[in-house]
Amino acid sequence: MRPEQWDVFKKAARLEKIDRVPMALIIDSPWIPGYLGLSHMDFYLDPEVWFQAHLQLHREFPGIMFIPPWWMEYGMAAEPSALGARIKFWPGSPPGQSPMLFRIEDIENLPHVDVERDGYMALALHRMHMHRRRILDHGYILPLVASRGPLCTAAFARGTTEFMMDLIDRPEWAHRLLDITTRLAIDWIEAQAEACGPGVEGFLLLDDIVGFVNEDCYAEFCHPYLKRICDAFPRDWIKIYHNDASIEACLEHLPDAGFNVLNWGKQTGIAAVKARVGDRICLMGNVPPLEIGVRGTPEQVRAATLDVLEKSGGRGIILSTGGGVSPGMPRANILAMQEALAEYNDGAVRAPQKKKRKKQPAPHLQKP
């Protein structure tokens, strides 16, 4: 991301008036190695392969803002690995993780997480230190960092089904686990911000597990912890929330938690989201990433993109897919999104305003 792009993103996130709708995509290792024909292991373990991959994408798509840019990640392994989860690698895909909290009472035995030394966090931070100067020398900046959210990390450690049951059967222990994972997220964001330097002005928080609960559960187990993370950082930071599961229970509450931008899935259309949150949060979405982004033709991508833009009214939106870029999304479909956006911004596809017809008096009132 270039400095001028970040200025545009900040204005859009703060719902300030901008001339053209911008475009941003969440890209990471589920998509990048396959798109570039790289081995996942080389992408993770060879610093030069990682750097050149990101550099190629920034040069290939200069008009797209990548969120976060130059993301130093190992799939979704960093946060659960710091808690002690077993991480498993397969050829051709990001790593997976196995739960390690078979009894939630084992929280008592969890050591304090040191984000600078534990698990894959230590490796990610080292890579940030390694590449920071080189990225800046190429004219790019590092304004954003990223973390999994507290419920997502808790589900990694405990197992999703088990954690969902804990919310109902053992809520006091669920709160204790969420306290740990919330502190982990805050510490992790702070450590990355320090590694990336003083230019960091925001974060991306990813937590799909929030979409698995109803509104009452959201109020008790989600909102306080999401707000605690937002409140831990400067008020003027840009705070982006990603959830491509359901947003029905949380949508109206996210602005109060402190988020500026919502990146959500295809389940809820943009018109419905706009009707519910109005101008309280910037919407980053929501072209369907799999059915359209991966499996659709460029013509279908164009139609879906224009549909999102038209229903947004062109205000309070950053064009994106409904979630991260899915594995297998081809270049032609990314270009189709860009081209449709350019048409929309240029006014080529906007419906012309209908001229007001002069009202005629009723026949019995017309002069002879």
pLDDT digits (tens, 9 = 90+) for 265-311: 999 999 999 999 988 999 999 999 999 999 999 999 999 999 999 99
Q: What is the mean pLDDT of residues 349-359?
A: 48
Tell me the per-residue pLDDT of 303-349, one tens digit each, with 9 for 90 and over.
999 999 999 999 999 999 999 999 999 999 999 999 999 999 999 55
Sign of CA dihedral 132, 134, 137, 141: negative
Mean pLDDT, rounded, of the chain: 94
Q: Is residue 361 part of a domain?
A: no
Q: Is residue 32 part of a domain?
A: yes
| Cα(288)–Cα(201) distance, integer angstroms | 29
Q: What is the mean pLDDT of residues 140-164?
A: 97
Residue 278, pLDDT score: 84
Tell whether the model's pLDDT for residue 361 goes beyond 80. Answer: no
Q: Is residue 278 part of a domain?
A: yes
Residue 63, pLDDT score: 97
Return the closest-CA partner of residue 264 out of 237, 280, 288, 298: 288
Side chain identity, residue 5? Q
Residue 348, pLDDT score: 57
Tell me the per-residue pLDDT of 79-105, one tens digit each, with 9 for 90 and over.
999 999 999 998 889 999 999 999 999
Q: Give the whole-number percent of the chain exceeding pLDDT 70.
A: 94
- Give the gyration radius of the chain's Cα atoms: 22
SS3 331: helix
Tell whether the model's pLDDT for residue 236 goes beyond 80. Answer: yes
Q: Residue 271 sits in a domain of what CATH number?
A: 3.20.20.210
Q: Is residue 140 part of a domain?
A: yes
Tell whether the model's pLDDT for residue 359 goes beyond 90. Answer: no
Task: Break the chain down into helix, strand, coil percent, rounded to 5.
Answer: 50, 15, 40
Tell whether the model's pLDDT for residue 187 goes beyond 70. Answer: yes
Q: What is the mean pLDDT of residues 254-269?
A: 97
Q: What is the mean pLDDT of residues 192-207?
A: 97
Residue 91, pLDDT score: 86
Residue 350, pLDDT score: 53
Tell whether the model's pLDDT for residue 164 goes beyond 80. Answer: yes
Q: Is residue 367 part of a domain?
A: no
Per the structure, the complete domain to which residue 218 belongs is given by 3-347
Please state which of the ranges 134-148, 196-210, 335-349 shows the lowest mean pLDDT: 335-349
Q: Two tokens at 144?
A: 């954003």
| Cα(83)–Cα(154) distance, integer angstroms | 10
Q: Is residue 362 part of a domain?
A: no
DSSP bridge partners of 93: 90
Residue 349, pLDDT score: 57
Cβ–Cβ < 8 Å for 270, 315 = no
Q: Can you say whether residue 302 is alpha, beta or left, with left for phi > 0 and alpha for psi between -120 and 50 degrees?
A: alpha
Sign of CA dihedral 188, 190, 193, 199: positive
Residue 119, pLDDT score: 95
Distances (CA, A) of 359 to 6, 246, 363: 49, 47, 12
Give the pLDDT band of residue 368 (cuts 50, 70, 90). Answer: very low
Tell whether the model's pLDDT for residue 355 goes beyond 70. Answer: no
Q: Is residue 365 part of a domain?
A: no
Q: Give the whole-number percent of the chain exceeding pLDDT 90.
A: 93
> Residues with Cβ < 8 Å from 26, sequence gap 6 or more?
66, 67, 204, 242, 263, 320, 321, 323, 324, 325
Q: Is residue 364 part of a domain?
A: no
Q: What is the mean pLDDT of residues 225-230?
A: 98
Q: Two tokens at 64?
A: 């797209």
Return the closest-CA partner of residue 151 out of 137, 138, 164, 141: 164
Q: Two tokens at 129?
A: 């230190």
Tell whether the model's pLDDT for residue 357 goes beyond 90. Answer: no
Give the pLDDT band of residue 364 (cuts 50, 70, 90). Answer: very low
Total domains in the fold of the chain: 1
Cβ–Cβ < 8 Å for 118, 81 = yes
